[in-house]
Amino acid sequence: MDAEAAKELGKLLGAGLSMGLGAVGPGVGLGIMIGKALESIARQPEVAGDVRTNMFIGIGVTEAVALYAFVVALILIFVA
């Protein structure tokens, strides 16, 4: 394999791996968080509004981690 092909292979492999592995953690985190939020809404429906607002804040913060991986993948493919 020549150097050019190896570089291309490394880029694409790295991009795929970064997105795939980077999505694992946030996926687990989002699942736990939304599950807990639904649990607490089911237990205390009167605080549903507050829980939902805070859940969305948490979703935004957690999801950002996966999106960093996405940006890294984009950078690897198109910029690096």
Partner 1 sequence: MKHPWRWIIGLLVLGFLILLAILPGGEEMEFEVAGEFERHVLIELPTIGPFDMSITKTVAYLFVAVAVIVVFTIVVARSLRMKPGRFQYAMEAMYELARDGIVGSVMKSGKATWFPFIGAVFFFILASNLIGLLPLPFGEHYQPAFYAATANLNVTLMLALCTFVFTHYAGIRKNGAFHYVKAWAPSGAPPVLKQVIWFIHVVSEIFRLISLSVRLFANMVAGHAILAVFFAMALIFQSYLVGLALQGASVLIYMFELFVAFIQAFIFAILSAVYIGGALDQDH
> Using CB under 8 A as the criterion, which residues of the chain lie in contact with partner 1 when the complex forms?
49-50, 53, 56-57, 59-61, 63-64, 67-68, 70-71, 74, 78
Other CB atoms within 10 Å distance of the CB of residue 60: 9
Rounded Cα–Cα distance for residues 55 and 63 (Å) = 12
Nearer CB in complex with partner 1: 14/51: 51
Q: At closest approach, how far in Å is the CB of 1 from partner 1?
A: 25
Q: Among residues 6 and 47, whose Cβ is nearest to partner 1? A: 47
Q: Which is nearer to partner 1, 7 or 53 (CB)?
A: 53
Q: Scan for tokens 């980077």, then name that residue.
A: 22
Nearest partner of 59 among 35, 34, 41, judged by Cα: 34
